[in-house]
């Protein structure tokens, strides 16, 4: 019960962008799980700590914690936790220019994936893989992965945790005409209830709004809203979205 409470507090702090507090919660839970020998929780907390350090822009600690996560599932695929850990490894390598290491992370994860994944995990991986490919300059593969994420699984975000990533890639890859109009409609709907999403998703939805702007007035409004929200964003998020070209330099 204590571990569940600490994990929940960590997730709440993560949603509100308080990553130092979240790391403290996750670390406490990690220590308790390590003492109890519950490797699945140890791996999950390692993944959460790694992603939190990535949001703070500390890519060395992000990689250290992602690498420390035990393989608690053996030959079986561990589900979203493995995806999260792989993304942290790939992000750390990509933000530091290690192209080959990013490619190895992608290959290693996909070699362990089951043929049939829960749709929301499949979608999440397509979107995050698009990020990783973008970081190493493989734009064609990034576009292909992003299109799979936004079009092949029903045309809607399948998890509330990935609405922001979905929207920014939807805006970046939607084709002019009816498809773009439908994308704008979805993004505008998410904008209308922006405060219902966590801090990362809020920034990403605003990035999508900027990407989807069709005239100067819309662009100025979107840039202003994004700039205001970025004043309170974690430094690593700003760095990542700038490298991915969702935030102007």
Tens of pLDDT, residues 32-42: 999 999 999 99
199, 15 in Cβ contact below 8 A? Answer: yes
pTM for the whole structure: 0.95
Q: What distance in Å separates the CA atoms of residue 72 and residue 153, rounded to the nearest whole number?
A: 29
Please give the CATH topology (third level) of the domain spanning 1-116: 1.25.40
Q: What distance in Å separates the CA atoms of residue 81 and residue 155, rounded to the nearest whole number?
A: 24
DSSP letters for 184-212: HHHHHHHHHTGGGS-HHHHHHHHHHHHHH
Q: What distance in Å separates the CA atoms of residue 179 and residue 174, rounded to the nearest whole number?
A: 6
| Tokens linked to 148 | 């799979």
Q: What distance in Å separates the CA atoms of residue 246 and residue 230, rounded to the nearest whole number?
A: 12
The domain segmentation of the chain, as residue ranges, is 1-116, 127-249
Tens of pLDDT, residues 90-111: 999 999 999 999 999 999 999 9
Containing 247, the helix (H) or strand (E) segment is none
Tens of pLDDT, residues 109-165: 999 998 789 999 999 999 999 999 999 999 999 999 999 999 988 889 999 999 999
* 120: three-class secondary structure by DSSP: helix
């Amino acid at each position: 019960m204590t571990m569940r409470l600490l994990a929940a507090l960590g997730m709440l702090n993560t949603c509100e962008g308080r990553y130092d507090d979240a790391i403290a919660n996750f670390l406490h839970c990690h220590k308790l799980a390590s003492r109890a020998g519950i490797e699945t929780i140890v791996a999950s907390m390692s993944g959460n700590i790694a992603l939190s350090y990535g949001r703070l822009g500390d890519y060395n600690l992000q990689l250290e914690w992602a690498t420390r996560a035990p393989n608690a599932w053996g030959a079986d695929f561990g589900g979203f936790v493995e995806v999260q850990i792989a993304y942290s490894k790939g992000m750390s390598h990509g933000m530091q220019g290690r192209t080959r290491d990013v490619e190895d992370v992608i290959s290693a994860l996909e070699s362990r994936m089951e043929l049939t994944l829960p749709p929301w995990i499949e979608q999440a991986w397509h979107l995050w893989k698009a990020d990783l490919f973008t970081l190493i300059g493989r734009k064609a593969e990034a576009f292909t992965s992003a299109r799979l994420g936004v079009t092949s699984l029903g045309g809607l975000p399948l998890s509330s945790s990935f609405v922001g990533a979905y929207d920014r890639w939807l805006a970046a890859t939607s084709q002019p005409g009816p498809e773009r109009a439908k994308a704008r409609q979805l993004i505008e709907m998410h904008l209308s209830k922006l405060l219902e999403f966590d801090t990362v998703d809020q920034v990403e939805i605003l990035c999508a709004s900027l990407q989807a702007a069709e005239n100067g007035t819309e662009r100025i409004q979107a840039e202003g809203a994004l700039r205001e929200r970025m004043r309170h964003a974690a430094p690593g998020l700003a760095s990542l979205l700038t490298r991915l070209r969702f935030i102007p330099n």
